[in-house]
Amino acid sequence: MVLARDPLRQAMVASIYGLLLGILFFLFQAPDVALSQTVVGAVALPMMILLALAKVRGGEE
């Protein structure tokens, strides 16, 4: 996350981290939390960042 300077890449890395954390929760026998973590951390949050980026970049052009 620190090494990727481009916000677009950071969003992708955040998504992968979200998925990894979800898998980790699942491995430690917390499937309820794993499900929420996967859908929110890996899908919903990066999606919102991407949409915000699209808006910001659209305004610059």
Partner 1 sequence: MSDRVRLGVFGVSLAGLLGLVMWAFVGLPDFGDYRGPYGDILNRVAVPERSTTDVVTAVNFDYRGFDTLGEEFILFTAVIGVASILRTLRGERTRPPDDDAAGRDVPETSLPIRVTGLGLVAPTVLIGIYIVAHGHQTPGGGFQGGVILATALLLTYLSADYMTLRAVGPNWLIELAEGLGAAGFALIGVAGLVFGSAFFENVLGKGTPGELPSAGLIPLSNAAVGLAVTGGFIFMLSEFLEQALTRRRDRRRGRGARRSA
* Residues of this chain that bind partner 1 (CB under 8 A): 28, 31-32, 34-36, 39-40, 43-44, 47-48, 51-52, 54-55, 58-59, 61
In DSSP notation, 12-36 reads HHHHHHHHHHHHHHHHTT-HHHHHH
Residue with tokens 């026998």: 29
CB of 43 to partner 1, least distance (A): 6
Torsion of CA 16, 2, 49, 11, to 10 degrees: -30
Cβ closest to partner 1, residue 16 vs residue 43: 43
CB of 11 to partner 1, least distance (A): 13
